[in-house]
């Protein structure tokens, strides 16, 4: 129902919902996942009109939501989750305490992911989980010493 964050009413719904949630419960950490981008943002004619730039409005409203939530709840730590889609940007780093660069938690794969990430972003904002060995996606086996050193 509320999918287009570029719409003012969706922006307000999210801000109201999050304000109510953070005011009601003692939450100290929010992981904001961006695994779904807009796949049908309109026709090329609509992009010529700045009022129809759906993705731009989405990101602008997202930044405004985060800015307001950070102001209202300065003690809450926020993580932006990119889900491997290269959707971390310098703009969100104004509001995020940390970022999750990829859902791929395989320790060997993380070496290249983290290297590429570090070419553009400061490594201190990058987060990663330590997961099982053998890895659930590809069956690779690593000694836990290696798995804990990589992230």
Active site residue 97: no
Residue 106 CA neighbour count, 13 Å, CB half? 14
Q: 19: left (phi > 0), else alpha (psi -120 to 50), else beta?
A: alpha
Active site residue 20: no
Of residues 4, 89, 97, 103, which has the active-site annotation? 103
Instruction: Specify whether the CB–CB gap between 88 and 32 falls below 8 A.
Output: no
Q: Is the dihedral of CA 94, 40, 9, 78 positive or negative?
A: negative
Neighbours of 121 (CB within 10 A): 16
Of residues 33, 89, 97, 106, which has the active-site annotation? 33
Q: What is the set of active-site residues?
A: 33, 103
């Amino acid at each position: 129902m509320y999918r287009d964050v570029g719409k003012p009413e969706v922006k307000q719904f999210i801000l109201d919902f999050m304000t109510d949630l953070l005011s009601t419960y003692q939450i100290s950490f929010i992981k904001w996942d961006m695994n779904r981008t807009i796949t049908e943002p309109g026709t090329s004619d609509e992009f010529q009109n700045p009022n129809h730039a759906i993705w731009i409005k989405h990101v602008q409203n997202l930044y405004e939501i985060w800015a307001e939530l950070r102001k209202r709840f300065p003690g809450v730590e926020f993580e932006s989750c990119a889900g491997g889609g290269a959707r971390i940007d310098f703009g969100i780093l104004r509001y995020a305490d940390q970022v999750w660069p990829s859902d791929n938690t395989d320790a060997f794969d993380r070496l290249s992911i983290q290297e590429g990430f570090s070419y553009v972003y400061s490594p201190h904002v990058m987060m990663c989980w330590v997961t099982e060995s053998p890895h659930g996606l590809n069956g690779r086996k690593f000694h836990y010493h290696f798995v804990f050193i990589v992230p």
